[in-house]
Amino acid sequence: MLELEIGSRCGGFGECGGDRVRILRGSESLSPFTDTEREHLTEAELKNGYRLACQCFPENDDAVIEAEFL
C-alpha cells in the first residue's frame, strides 16, 4: 500500500476540511464516507467524487485509485 503525505491544516483529523481531493477512478475501493466528510462537503461534492484525503482509505491492498489534488 502506498501512503501519501497530503498535508492539512488540522493534522489529518478532518477538522479543517482542507485536504479535499476528487476521486477520478477507484472510488468503489475506498472506505465509506465519514460523518466528518458529510459535515465539510456538500451533497453535490460527494456525488461528484470529492473526499477528504485524511478520511478515506483503500479497503484492499490491490486497489487502483486515481485522484486529483485540489
pLDDT digits (tens, 9 = 90+) for 11-69: 888 899 989 999 999 999 999 999 999 999 999 999 999 999 999 989 988 888 988 88
Q: What is the pLDDT of residue 7?
A: 64
Contacts of 8 (CB under 8 A, 6+ apart): 16, 18, 19, 53, 54
Give the pLDDT of residue 52. Answer: 94
DSSP-based three-state secondary structure for 68: strand
Whether 1 has a pLDDT exceeding 60, the answer reads no
pTM of the model: 0.85
Chain-centre distance for alpha carbon 19: 8
Please report the pLDDT score of residue 12 as a whole number: 80
Query: What whole-number distance in Å separates Cα of residue 18 and Cα of residue 7?
Result: 9
